[in-house]
Amino acid sequence: MKHMLSFFIAAVVAVVFAVPSFAYPRPVEKLKDGVTAVVTSPLEIKDYAMAEAKDGSFLPFSLPAGLLKGSCYMIKKMVGGVLDIVTFPISK
């Protein structure tokens, strides 16, 4: 019985210390998310320009508004992605 308890404790300790090593590391995920945000940020211009052109009643005003809005969201997404890339070794 004493050997069984020792074996059980050793197994629990092994599992507790081994499970985090199989987890997806957060810094790598943060780096991947940052690169994805930077690469896909120019698509924000197209998305917002098309949305504003579709929703707007007067195309000559809604298309430039969509381009401006999309540019602002692109810059926001790109800056967030660059911050994720630069600070990926730092955990939250």
- Can you give the pLDDT at residue 28? 81
- Can you give the pLDDT at residue 16? 63
Q: How far apart are the C-alpha atoms of 39 and 80, rounded to whole Å?
A: 12
Q: Which residues of the chain have pLDDT under 50?
A: none
- Can you give the pLDDT at residue 70? 93
- Can you give the pLDDT at residue 2? 67
Q: 34-44 b/e with 16+ CB inside 10 Å = b?
A: beebbeebeeb
- Sign of the dihedral defined by the CA atoms of residues 80, 85, 90, 92, in that order: positive
- Can you give the pLDDT at residue 63? 87
- Can you give the pLDDT at residue 21? 54
